[in-house]
A and B are shown apart, each in its own frame.
Chain A
Amino acid sequence: ETGVTQSPTHLIKTRGQQVTLRCSSQSGHNTVSWYQQALGQGPQFIFQYYREEENGRGNFPPRFSGLQFPNYSSELNVNALELDDSALYLCASSFPDRPNYGYTFGSGTRLTVV
């Protein structure tokens, strides 16, 4: 069991820039979800990918986009960064048809937009 790993752990970007966050899912989990956790809040669902296609999206604008690769790694891309995008971004892997199993979370990427 390899767990979920995210990179980088911390990142500082300037407003208007673009950022790419990376995630390597737990072995055998072919579904990856991304969550945004603002300071003092619970995680908010951004989107989920299953077999390299988006499989559900939360209330986030199109400048939040993602990719999932055949090796279960994935990316979260955010364009035109805004100050409110500053948050902890969490990647979580799971089985697509077994929500009762829950998620396995990575440690997150702390993004600061200045």
Chain B
Amino acid sequence: AQSVTQLGSHVSVSEGALVLLRCNYSSSVPPYLFWYVQYPNQGLQLLLKYTSAATLVKGINGFEAEFKKSETSFHLTKPSAHMSDAAEYFCAVTANTGNQFYFGTGTSLTVIP
């Protein structure tokens, strides 16, 4: 079985500051891990994904995430926050043989000008 836990339902950062959104996963098999972003009244857009290749994954809009097996973590970072980054962020996990994604409860990012 797989699950993810997102620590911090709300995160606020100043414009230009580091963004760090936390995700810890649980999986009995090698996982595939994803970060999605959701803007108000929209669906989910894929930011980046880990699929057992490089542990440091780069995504769109300057985001990146590092897979740490020893810590069962897949935290999302961005060096400098932009106002347009304000949104809801979801971490998700699936197995390489699975057909179901398990999502976290989300982290709402606020960027303060």
A interface residue numbers (CB < 8 A to B): 4, 6, 31, 33, 35, 40-45, 48, 50, 55-56, 58, 90, 92, 96, 99-100, 102-108, 110
Known: A41-B106, A42-B90. A56 touches B43 (CB 8 A): no
Within 8 A of A (CB), among B26-79: 32, 34, 36, 41-46, 49, 51-52
Give chain A nearest CB distance to B27 CB in angstroms.
12
Known: A42-B106, A56-B100. A99 touches B95 (CB 8 A): yes
CA distance A106 to B44 in the complex (A): 7
Known: A42-B106, A99-B94. A107 touches B43 (CB 8 A): yes
Knowing that A31-B99, A33-B100, A90-B43 touch, tell me 19 more A-B residue pairs with CB under 8 angstroms. Answer: A33-B99, A42-B105, A43-B90, A43-B103, A44-B103, A45-B102, A48-B100, A50-B99, A56-B99, A56-B100, A58-B100, A96-B99, A99-B94, A99-B99, A100-B49, A100-B52, A103-B44, A104-B46, A108-B42
User: Which residues of chain A have C-beta atoms less than 8 A from B49's C-beta?
Assistant: 100, 102
Known: A103-B46, A107-B43. A45 touches B100 (CB 8 A): yes
Q: Supply 16 A–B pairs (Cβ within 8 Å), ascending by A.
A: A4-B43, A33-B99, A40-B105, A42-B90, A44-B103, A48-B100, A50-B99, A90-B44, A99-B98, A100-B32, A100-B96, A102-B49, A103-B101, A104-B46, A105-B45, A107-B43
CA distance A28 to B100 in the complex (A): 19
Number of A-B contacts (CB under 8 A): 66
Contact A102 B105 (CB under 8 A): no
Instruction: State which size class the interface on B falls in.
Output: 20 to 34
Contact A99 B96 (CB under 8 A): yes
Tell which of B34, B41, B104 touches A102, judged by Cβ atoms closer than 8 Å.
B34
Give chain A nearest CB distance to B107 CB in angstroms.
10
Identify the interface centre among B41, B51, B100: most chain A CB within 10 Å of its CB: B100
Pick the 5 closest A-B CB pairs, nearest first.
Answer: A42-B103, A100-B51, A105-B43, A105-B44, A56-B99
CA distance A107 to B42 in the complex (A): 5
Give chain B nearest CB distance to A47 CB in angstroms.
9
Task: Across the interface, name the chain B residue whose C-beta is closest to A94.
Answer: B99
